Amino acid sequence: MRSNIIAFACGVGFLQMQEAVPAWPLLLALLLTALALLWPGWRQGRLRRGLVLLGCTVLGFAWAALLAEQRLRDQLPVAWEGRDVQLVGVIAALPHAFERGERFAFDVESVETAAAVVPQRIMLSWYHGWLEDEWREGLKIRPGERWRFTVRLKRPHGNANPLAFDYEAWLFERNLRATGYVRPQAATQRLDDFVVRPSYLIERLRDRLRQSFDEVLGDAPYAGVLVALAVGDQQAIPGEQWRLFRQTGVTHLMSISGLHVTMVAALCGSLVGWLWRRSERLLLALPAQKVAIAAGWLAAFGYALLAGFAVPAQRTLYMLTVVALALWSGRNLGASRSLLLALLAVLLLDPWAVLAPGFWLSFAAVAVLFFIGTARLGSQRGWRAALANWGATQWAVTLGTLPLLLLLFQQFSLVSPLANAVAIPLVSFVITPLALLFVVLPWPPLLSLAHELLAVLMACLEWLAGWPLWEQPAPPLPATVLAVVGVVWLLLPRGFPARWLGVCLLLPALVWPAARPAAGEAWVEVLDVGQGLAVVVRTAGHSLLYDTGPLYSAESDAGQRIIVPYLRAHGVRRIDTLIVTHRDKDHSGGVVAVEEALPIVRRLSSVPELQPEPCVDG
């Protein structure tokens, strides 16, 4: 079964690497081929196992293609891009505020413009204030409200840069099939205060909880982190705090992740099981272990819903469901089988999860924990053994995710193990439970205590952030696969022969050199930044950046999203010359992010705030 699931996952991943979804005739042929390969009647001899694996791979490819075809069919016709369309629909999720308005997912119920065709779910921005020489009035919106809007839409698109954030894939994964903005028309109208549906009820609850956090914490500097831990809304976390989390490697802790969902399930299950054992009558009715399993799963399900059923929470819930069913039925599936069954559930329901870095990192981290948990830990008791096991766990997870971090982000925080050793117990077992306890029991001192503890943690992280980052050009896929094998080899139990060979397998990914032009050559690379310009010129020993692209919003710019990841992936560790032609935001919008990420030797610009070198005659 294990190899069959892995083969199915390979098929799903291979589909995501294709330029287009296969046509219907080819898709039907693939499905028939998979069924033929899996048919048990004629498979004989040595080829049997290979045919089964091939059939599972083809089945995974065909399944992902079938779901992708259905989603791609729901799209905005080219003829209706940039035209006014009147819609009626429902605010589908928490609105996200930005400096010029609000952005939200919108479920389209009806299209009132004749002959217009609009996807079922879109993302809209509602701009406030002066824009395009007209005043745009904004109204308070809440999840679950039905509105009539006049909008202008466009098809999803992203920037075509290697190893950079793929906005189009991000929209596709969330089934947002068009983006646009609300027009300042008189037709804008709130039709219903609330549309009764389970998903909208959950979103309205999240909105109310966010308001209650804001009422208690006000302008507290870390209020956004507590809101993110309680209801999964990360919009209030400032950019400088995100940079601090990235520098110290604790980003995964500052939003609702699999670790937090598992923690809630474990705490609630343990508490209910302990209470259940206090009553003999209840024990005779149902064993405490089964009650604890059910309570833990229900707590995880509720917390995942409170998080907006985000993808990391979904993955963890599927995994906990597999484990809970196995424990309830009394079956011992084993660690690897539980993990792979959860993987299968995720890919069946959400084959686009493989596009998210969090998918790979979360499954890799859990796999490492299962591996060392069954092979090396837990053999001794006492606080010293517990402390040693905790350190070994941090070391194993750090080592296990290192190849993926270098491949996906081209950097690794050297203080990440120490930062996580401090932050994981404090955030997971103290700060997050206090925030969730406030959700159940709205007593303001609970949030105040959580904020004070978070302030202490942030002070520690700021001190650790002064330590260096290790940056490495993105290794090729074969070197990454080799590094993963090396990590597994290193994590084998003590006494296993030649464990040092794991270091040899890991080294290529750690020291892989970046490709550079030959002496006398220059590579000129024009980055896709949308409206604006960013050009990278590289020679054998120097690099030049000509303009830094546009400023997209107060939270995002081309430097942060495109230029810095591109330079890191190609091994550029300093910019010898930065040229910013003029002050226009389409050309200078990313300069701050570039300056924060890389040292700059020389600046040439007409913008005096950049402190450029003065012009020299001749």
Is 379 inside any structural domain?
no
Domain hosting 289: range is: 204-355+410-471
148 beta partners: 88, 189
State the Cα–Cα distance between residues 485 and 477, nearest whole angstrom: 13
Is 309 inside any structural domain?
yes
Q: How much of the chain is helix, strand and coil, in % rounded to 5?
A: 55, 15, 30
Q: How high does pLDDT run on average in the chain?
A: 84
Do 150 and 220 lie in a common domain? no
Domain end marker among 196, 223, 248 = 196
Do 84 and 173 lie in a common domain? yes
Is 212 inside any structural domain?
yes
Whether the per-residue pLDDT at 229 is higher than 70: the answer is yes
In this prediction the pTM is 0.81
Output 318 or 79, whichever has higher pLDDT.
79
Do 69 and 82 lie in a common domain? no
**Rounded to an integer, what is the distance from CA 491 to the centroid of its chain?**
27
CA dist list (Å): 452 to 7, 139, 220, 440, 459: 48, 35, 10, 20, 11
Output 312 or 72, whichever has higher pLDDT.
72
Lowest mean pLDDT among 43-47, 218-222, 494-498, 514-518: 43-47
Domain end marker among 435, 454, 471 = 471
Q: Determine the pLDDT at residue 132.
A: 60
Do 346 and 258 lie in a common domain? yes
Q: Determine the pLDDT at residue 387.
A: 65
pLDDT in tens, 588-610: 999 998 998 889 999 998 888 88
Do 262 and 326 lie in a common domain? yes
Q: How many CB atoms lie within 10 A of CB 216?
A: 19
> Mean pLDDT over residues 331-350, rounded?
82
Band of the pLDDT at 546, cuts 50, 70, 90? very high
Alpha helices of 138-222 — where are they, by DSSP H?
167-173, 198-217
Do 439 and 565 lie in a common domain? no
Band of the pLDDT at 377, cuts 50, 70, 90? very low
State the Cα–Cα distance between residues 352 and 13, nearest whole angstrom: 9
DSSP string, 433-472: HHHHHHHHS--HHHHHHHHHHHHHHHHHHHHHTTSPEEE-
State the Cα–Cα distance between residues 530 and 414, nearest whole angstrom: 34
DSSP 266: H
Q: Determine the pLDDT at residue 388.
A: 67
Q: How many CB atoms lie within 10 A of CB 567?
A: 25
Do 69 and 94 lie in a common domain? no
Do 51 and 101 lie in a common domain? no
Q: Looking at the 3D structure of the chain, how many domains does it have?
A: 4
Query: First and final CA of the chain: distance in angstroms?
Result: 74
Do 209 and 300 lie in a common domain? yes
> Mean pLDDT over residues 46-55, rounded?
75
Band of the pLDDT at 390, cuts 50, 70, 90? low
**Rounded to an integer, what is the distance from CA 482 to the centroid of its chain?**
25
Domain end marker among 43, 73, 103 = 73
State the Cα–Cα distance between residues 328 and 29, nearest whole angstrom: 40
Do 453 and 306 lie in a common domain? yes
pLDDT in tens, 431-455: 988 999 998 888 999 999 999 999 9
Element (H, E) at 578: strand 575-580
Position 218: which residue type? G
Output 534 or 335, whichever has higher pLDDT.
534
Do 456 and 335 lie in a common domain? yes
Element (H, E) at 102: strand 101-111
Strands 543-546 and 575-580: parallel
Alpha helices of 330-382 — where are they, by DSSP H?
335-349, 357-375
Whether the per-residue pLDDT at 41 is higher than 60: the answer is no
Q: Determine the pLDDT at residue 124.
A: 95
Do 63 and 98 lie in a common domain? no
